[in-house]
Structure 1
Amino acid sequence: MESVSRLGIVGCGLMGSGIAEVAALRGLDVLVGEATPQTAKDGRRRITGSLERGVRRGKLTEEQLTAALGRISFTHDLADMQDRQFVIEAVAEKREIKAEVLAMLGKVVQGDDAVIATNTSSIPIVDLAMATQCPDRVIGLHFFNPVPVQRLVEVIPSLATSEQTFARARDFATEQLGKRTVTATDRSGFVVNALLVPYLLSAVRMLESGQASADDIDRGMELGCAHPMGPLRLLDLIGLDTAQSVAESMYAEFKEPLYAPPALLRRMVAARQLGRKSGRGFYAYDV
């Protein structure tokens, strides 16, 4: 099976920029699709900042930084993705937006063995795949934030995904990006979020009910259970809007009360207190 040399990524937020950085450092030609010149500029600045932090920490050389940035280009026209061997959608965690992007990619990315992957963290893959004309070439590849640090990728084939697509996606993640993979059944939440989200929402409900402060909840799990980060700090890192979208998707599929977003979470999202990316969530941050 031919290795991937030309990668496309649609969306250059936290996830898309991280995937682009990892791929460029591994020698791939990366084309990033963004909606506007400003969002493309923001995406390049995000990638550059991450690479520069790697240099300051001694994990990268200046030469590696320069080479990686030279492998990344941007476009505002998804038609430019037509020569890509593998395209990863990494736009907002909204079913309608993802389905629209994948439908366009299905028309543009025409190679028989070209793969179209979605980085959704909760939306059933088959729902997105059936928005395209080529559901056999669509698969879920769920990366974790921050992508340059987190080694795991969930590989999620749908009922329509071909064996060739599954093998190509798994090999791409492991052999070319250096990640470790787990295979998940196409159910909302997959493996990690199916276990993680109820825990995170329980922490919000505990805070909401006044059982404990945010700091005590987080310190309790960090010191009592050896978690590297408490649940509320982790929610701030994930983004409260993303967490709400994941919870809503899981609740829509299973109708289990433990998946329903707590009122406090919904109010904070409405107030744009989204965590680290907005400067305020359960804690305050410099942005």
Structure 2
Amino acid sequence: MSLTNGLPEHVGVYGGGRMGAGIAHAFLLAGATVTVVEASEPAAAAARARVEASLRTARERGKLAGSLADVAARLTVATAPAALAGCGLVVEAVPEDTALKRRVLATVAEVAPTARLATNTSSLSVDALASGVPVPDRLIGLHFFNPVPASELVEIVVGTKTAPDLVGDARAWVDALGKTSVTVTDSPGFASSRLGVALALEAMRMLQDGVACAEDIDTAMTLGYKHPMGPLRTTDVVGLDVRLAIAEHLARELGERFEPPAVLREKVAAGHLGRKTGQGFYTW
């Protein structure tokens, strides 16, 4: 069943970390009932806290239609995948690991056999992930951006087996969320990650070579090219470990121009992962 705005009435999100919680937030604000699945009770409790904190922020900013209690009442957080039964759409939002995502998608396809499936991968092949799904035409990429509540973009990634009608539905879902979609074919890094990582890696090489400090490199892009945030600060927000994993994947797929610079590997090895650890290219 769908809501009047075209969204499925019941949406599942597998994974309640920063991205999964943000995706749940977006669907809740659009009027859907949302079920988030996490791996353990502590993780589930943390996921609920993230979503509820995000909803409180939305209320403070005047972006919440209805009372906080009413919107929060449409949120369920569970540890059993079976809680996703009956969902019209399930979005996978677990870490960027092909084997893990395949397992999750296969599980979702089993417990929610009629649901449309979406992966929030930022760089992995939708076709490769679809190989673990019994009906691969039900899978599409919905690449949300961090932080999801504030981001205006969703990248729709179309696999070779994705059903054409699913592409149209995905565009309608993004519209219903109040965001803008771009549609790309399944290719390494899609459009956003491929371009964003290329810029970030070059900024890191410039920092490593002593061309300028992080602040000045970022200012050159924010003031000179009107980017809302410089490539190094953006990397801190995304997570240096996430950027490293994507760069390594793109280097394997597209060649040495995406080879991660030493400064990125060194910071990740030292545990300096950006905003989430308090230290990256900046101190937070």
- TM-score normalised by structure 1 residue count: 0.92
Partner of 1:129: 130
Partner of 1:53: 57
Percent identity of paired positions between Structure 1 and Structure 2: 43
Q: Are positions 1:235 and 2:235 aligned together?
A: yes
Rounded Cα–Cα distance in structure 1 between residues aligned with 2:62 and 2:169 = 33
Could you list the per-position Cα deviations for residues 135-156 of structure 1 after superposition, in whole angstroms to 9, with x for gaps in the alignment? 1101101111111111111111
Partner of 1:98: 101
RMSD of equivalent CA atoms: 1.6
Rounded Cα–Cα distance in structure 2 between residues aligned with 1:196 and 1:232 = 11
1:267-286 alignment runs, 5 A limit: 267-285=266-284
1:232 counterpart letter in structure 2: L
Partner of 1:164: 165
Say which SS state the counterpart of residue 18 (structure 1) adopts: helix
Say which SS state the counterpart of residue 182 (structure 1) adopts: strand
Partner of 1:201: 201
Rounded Cα–Cα distance in structure 2 between residues aligned with 1:125 and 1:208 = 34
Partner of 1:7: 11
Rounded Cα–Cα distance in structure 2 between residues aligned with 1:211 and 1:11 = 40
Rounded Cα–Cα distance in structure 1 between residues aligned with 2:67 and 2:203 = 41
Contact 2:29 2:64 in 1 (8 A): no
Q: CA deviation at 1:7?
A: 0.3
Contact 2:247 2:259 in 1 (8 A): yes
Q: Are positions 1:39 and 2:43 aligned together?
A: yes
Q: Are positions 1:264 and 2:263 aligned together?
A: yes
Partner of 2:150: 149
Rounded Cα–Cα distance in structure 2 between residues aligned with 1:25 and 1:10 = 18
Partner of 1:87: 90
Q: Which one is further off, 51-60 or 66-75?
A: 51-60
Q: CA deviation at 1:161?
A: 0.9
Could you list the per-position Cα deviations for residues 80-104 of structure 1 after superposition, in whole angstroms to 9, with x for gaps in the alignment? 2121110000011111211111121
Could you list the per-position Cα deviations for residues 35-87 of structure 1 after superposition, in whole angstroms to 9, with x for gaps in the alignment? 111111111221222222233344447x5322221111111111221211100
Rounded Cα–Cα distance in structure 2 between residues aligned with 1:264 and 1:99 = 32
Rounded Cα–Cα distance in structure 1 between residues aligned with 2:54 and 2:88 = 26
Contact 2:142 2:156 in 1 (8 A): yes
2:192 counterpart letter in structure 1: V
Rounded Cα–Cα distance in structure 2 between residues aligned with 1:80 and 1:69 = 17
Contact 1:156 1:184 in 2 (8 A): yes
2:152 counterpart letter in structure 1: R
Contact 1:30 1:72 in 2 (8 A): yes
Rounded Cα–Cα distance in structure 1 between residues aligned with 2:62 and 2:82 = 38
Say which SS state the counterpart of residue 74 (structure 1) adopts: strand
Q: CA deviation at 1:242?
A: 1.2
Task: Classify 1:162/1:57 alpha carbon distance in 2 versus 1 (closer, same or farther; 3 Å).
Answer: closer
Say which SS state the counterpart of residue 83 (structure 1) adopts: coil
Rounded Cα–Cα distance in structure 2 between residues aligned with 1:163 and 1:60 = 33
1:271 counterpart letter in structure 2: A
1:283 counterpart letter in structure 2: Y
Partner of 2:68: 65
2:68 counterpart letter in structure 1: L
Q: CA deviation at 1:223?
A: 2.1
Q: Are positions 1:215 and 2:215 aligned together?
A: yes
Q: Are positions 1:74 and 2:77 aligned together?
A: yes
Contact 1:21 1:68 in 2 (8 A): no
Rounded Cα–Cα distance in structure 1 between residues aligned with 2:137 and 2:75 = 28
Q: Runs in 1 of length 4+ with deviation above 6 angstroms?
A: none
